[in-house]
Chain A
Amino acid sequence: MRELALNILDIAENSLRAGASLVQIRLCADFLKDEMTIAVEDNGCGMSKEMAASVTDPFTTTRTTRKVGMGVPLFKYSAESAGGTFRIRSEEGKGTCVTATYRIGHVDRMPLGDFGGVVLQLVTMNPQTDFLVTVQSGGQTGVLDTREIREILGEDIPLGAPEVRAFLKEYISENLVSIYGGRL
């Protein structure tokens, strides 16, 4: 993984696999404190205590095809190698919240990458799931709530329709990415 945005995509895919109906993604960048927080929270099936404790081990996975699961360990590594922290909170039947913090100026911090593109992909390619994406930086907040958008569009127009996709692409770039600028 060369971009934190790809880690976000990967972790959000776990939430989708957990059957979440709502996935919340939060990105907070505090340039004065030199701190960035990324959180992915879902209301999916959650994990048992033992599973949550061992999920950062690359040899833990729910897959049956083979014995490695790299997504969460890679995300943890990205934070801890950049002077940050990693936390996973999960409750069976309630959902899971994964939080990672980073020192923005740390020499080993991966670039955020194409965050807007990842958000666009998540919201347009997953018609069964709602997303609430929040970006905070410098006292400004940008929000994308697919529940709001679905309400406007009605049931007959999917979020993946080319016209809607084009709208969302610009909406994401002007309302979410512009909050932190190109600085991450």
Chain B
Amino acid sequence: MKSLEELRALREKMKSQTDNRSVAGADETVIKVGMATCGIAAGARPVLDAMLDEAEKRQLHNVSISQTGCIGLCRLEPIVEVFKDGQKYTYILMTPEKARKVIVDHVVNGNVCTDYLIGENS
């Protein structure tokens, strides 16, 4: 059984590491996943999980992933918004597979996944 003692040990270990995560500055990418009733029912949770997993696997320190409320297009959920280079990209009808592709192609390599976009950048 995991105990809170292990967490204490983990903390000591983390404190001794020099943290380069906090130096992420203006080039930070912000990702928001819609997590209201409509998003949850359409499958936003697996999408969020896939994005967190992919970001961690690739050690992406300048990416912040969070959840938000209803974006207002319930029938196109799950919706993921990516704020990168001063632009907003809205991806619709996401799946875990598409979400991983967005992280790899768009967030890491800078190639926007136009197939999944809606709005002015599509």
Could you tell me which A residues sit within 8 Å of B by CB distance?
1, 6, 9-10, 13, 17, 63, 65, 69-71, 74, 114, 117-118, 121, 125, 148-149, 152-154, 156-157, 161-165, 167, 170-171, 174-175
Which of A10, A114, A149, A154 is close to B4, meaning CB atoms less than 8 Å apart?
A149
Asked if A164 meets B35 with Cβ closer than 8 Å, knowing A6-B40, A121-B48, the reply is: no
Listed A/B pairs (20) with beta-carbon separation below 8 Å: A9-B40, A9-B45, A10-B36, A13-B36, A65-B70, A71-B37, A74-B41, A121-B49, A125-B66, A125-B67, A149-B4, A149-B7, A152-B8, A152-B11, A157-B14, A161-B14, A161-B21, A162-B56, A163-B14, A167-B10
- When the two chains form their complex, are residues B35 and A13 in contact, meaning their CB atoms are under 8 A apart? yes
- When the two chains form their complex, are residues B1 and A174 in contact, meaning their CB atoms are under 8 A apart? yes
A10, A63, A175 — most chain B CB neighbours (10 Å): A10
A164, B17: Cα distance in complex, Å? 14
**Closest residue of B by beta carbon distance from A169:** B2
Asked if A1 meets B14 with Cβ closer than 8 Å, knowing A65-B70, A121-B48, A153-B7, the reply is: no
**Closest residue of A by beta carbon distance from B71:** A65
Which of A156, A164, A174 is close to B2, meaning CB atoms less than 8 Å apart?
A174
- When the two chains form their complex, are residues A175 and B49 in contact, meaning their CB atoms are under 8 A apart? no
Report the minimal beta-carbon distance from A1 to chain B, rounded to whole angstroms. Answer: 5
A165, B14: Cα distance in complex, Å? 13
Contacts of A149 in B (CB 8 A): 4, 7
Could you tell me which B residues sit within 8 Å of A by CB distance?
1-2, 4, 6-8, 10-11, 13-15, 21, 35-38, 40-41, 45, 48-49, 52, 56, 66-67, 69-70, 72
- When the two chains form their complex, are residues B40 and A1 in contact, meaning their CB atoms are under 8 A apart? yes
Majority SS at the chain A contact face: helix
A163, B15: Cα distance in complex, Å? 12
**Closest residue of A by beta carbon distance from B41:** A1
- When the two chains form their complex, are residues B2 and A63 in contact, meaning their CB atoms are under 8 A apart? no
A10, B45: Cα distance in complex, Å? 11
A13, B48: Cα distance in complex, Å? 15
- When the two chains form their complex, are residues A167 and B40 in contact, meaning their CB atoms are under 8 A apart? no
A153, B13: Cα distance in complex, Å? 11
Which of A69, A70, A157, A165 is close to B11, meaning CB atoms less than 8 Å apart?
A157
Contacts of A167 in B (CB 8 A): 2, 6-7, 10
Report the minimal beta-carbon distance from A9 to chain B, rounded to whole angstroms. Answer: 6
Known contacts A71-B36, A171-B7; 4 further A-B pairs (Cβ under 8 A): A17-B69, A163-B14, A164-B14, A167-B6
